[in-house]
């Protein structure tokens, strides 16, 4: 007879082992389920690293040596790779100029090479696109006579360089996006990209062979997102191939500005990050609380008497702060997708 409280090792043993075995199996299953999610968590960091490597490789492979001309009362700046396969026209936004797309150099002493614009040019040249940029006559592009002037300039330039047989594509940002959407009605573009702009499709009659259109926008701008959703359907109803890329906010880190802005070193980048933290411009995860244009970050730097920064870098920093907030700014972040769109429509 068994004593009270005593359990037989012979008969109850299998039941004692069953629970830990089941627990072990459940733990293994749980680990198996979590591993893919862990990979997803790690991907953004890996992606950022790859993008940094891509920027560094572009600078080492492609050298900016533009030609600067003055035509029809405006600046025309361009560069042609050795074996061009297409022509890319880039249209800046309000307050922009053609000089924003190119680094300062002996060929272009007035160029300022804003980080996002120059990366679009570098990506284009690396993919064998001849790149041409033109400055608007005023602060923003106008949609009447200036459209005809730019058409004339582009056609003249293509003819002079004997590039008539190459496909022609265009990318316009903000005011430049509206401009390109109108220009596409009178020029034979293979495809176009409208960046942070919904285009003028509520005002123009879309021709039968209107080019394939890619919208690159920032959904935080709710009004523009609604208009783009509306115009995507309008274009589809007219038989136009159309697609959308959304650009979302990203957090700043001590090295972000140094990674994205040529000429800004890691030490200065980390110091800027500290100032933004101290002033409450970013949250505890590094996200911008407001658009860069709405922050007195320049004054905050001036108050730090022990911290001096070359004022020539101010527009570059401003652009990246705007981009991090992701409301309305030129962006090169999705360059790979943008140029795949162009390439997929080159016949």
User: For 205-251, what is each residue's pLDDT tens digit?
Assistant: 999 899 999 999 999 999 999 999 999 999 999 999 999 999 999 99
pLDDT tens figures, 280-319: 999 999 999 999 999 999 999 988 877 888 999 999 999 9
Rg of the chain taking only CA atoms, in angstroms:
27
What is the per-residue pLDDT for 16?
Answer: 47
What is the reported pTM?
A: 0.84
Over residues 145-161, mean pLDDT: 98
Residue 5 has pLDDT above 60, yes or no: no
Do strands 242-246 and 213-217 pair parallel, antiparallel, or not at all (unpaired)?
Answer: parallel
Lowest mean pLDDT among 41-50, 194-203, 206-215, 245-254: 41-50
**Beta bridge partners of residue 131, listed in sequence order:** 79, 88
- What domains are defined for the chain? 61-248+329-344 (3.40.50.1820), 256-325 (no CATH)
Residue 46 CB contacts under 8 Å (≥ 6 apart), including other chains: none
Lowest mean pLDDT among 66-70, 165-169, 310-314: 310-314
What is the per-residue pLDDT for 24?
Answer: 54
Over residues 46-52, mean pLDDT: 44
Over residues 142-148, mean pLDDT: 97
CB atoms within 10 A of CB 104: 15
Q: What is the DSSP letter of 209?
A: T
Over residues 35-39, mean pLDDT: 40
Residue 211 CB contacts under 8 Å (≥ 6 apart), including other chains: 184, 189, 190, 191, 192, 240, 345
Q: Could you tell me the strand order of the sheet in which 242-246 lies? A: 67-71, 74-79, 129-134, 86-91, 168-173, 191-195, 213-217, 242-246
Residue 35 has pLDDT above 70, yes or no: no
Over residues 308-334, mean pLDDT: 96
Lowest mean pLDDT among 36-40, 68-72, 197-201, 290-294: 36-40
């Amino acid at each position: 007879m068994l004593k009270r409280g005593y359990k037989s090792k012979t008969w109850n043993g299998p039941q004692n082992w069953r629970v830990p075995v089941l627990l072990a199996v459940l733990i293994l299953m749980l680990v198996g389920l979590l591993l893919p999610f862990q990979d997803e968590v790690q991907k953004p960091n890996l992606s950022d690293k790859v993008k940094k490597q891509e920027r560094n490789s572009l600078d080492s492979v492609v050298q900016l040596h533009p030609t600067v001309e003055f035509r029809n009362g405006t600046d025309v700046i361009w560069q042609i790779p050795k074996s061009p396969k297409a022509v890319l026209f880039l249209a800046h936004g309000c307050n922009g100029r053609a000089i924003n797309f190119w680094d300062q150099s002996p060929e272009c002493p007035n160029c300022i090479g804003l980080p996002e614009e120059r990366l679009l040019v570098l990506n284009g040249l690396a993919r064998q696109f001849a790149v041409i940029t033109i400055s608007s006559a005023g602060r923003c592009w106008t949609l009447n006579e200036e459209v005809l002037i730019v058409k004339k300039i582009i056609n003249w330039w293509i003819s002079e360089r004997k590039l008539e047989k190459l496909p022609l594509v265009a990318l316009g940002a903000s005011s430049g996006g509206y401009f390109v959407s109108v220009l596409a009605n009178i020029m034979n573009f293979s495809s176009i990209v409208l960046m942070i702009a919904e285009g003028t499709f509520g005002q123009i009659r879309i021709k039968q062979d209107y080019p394939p259109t890619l919208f690159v926008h920032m959904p935080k701008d709710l009004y523009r997102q609604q208009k783009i959703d509306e115009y995507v359907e309008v274009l589809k109803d007219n038989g136009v191939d159309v697609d959308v890329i959304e650009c979302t906010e990203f957090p700043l880190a001590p090295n972000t500005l140094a990674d994205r802005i040529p000429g800004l070193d890691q030490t200065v980048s980390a110091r800027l990050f500290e100032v933004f933290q101290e002033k409450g411009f970013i949250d505890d995860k590094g996200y911008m609380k407001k658009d860069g244009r709405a922050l007195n970050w320049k004054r905050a730097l001036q108050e730090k008497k022990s911290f001096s920064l070359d004022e020539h870098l101010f527009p570059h920093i401003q652009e990246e702060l705007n981009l991090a907030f992701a409301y309305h700014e030129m962006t090169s972040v999705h360059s790979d997708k943008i140029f795949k769109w162009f390439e997929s429509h080159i016949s």
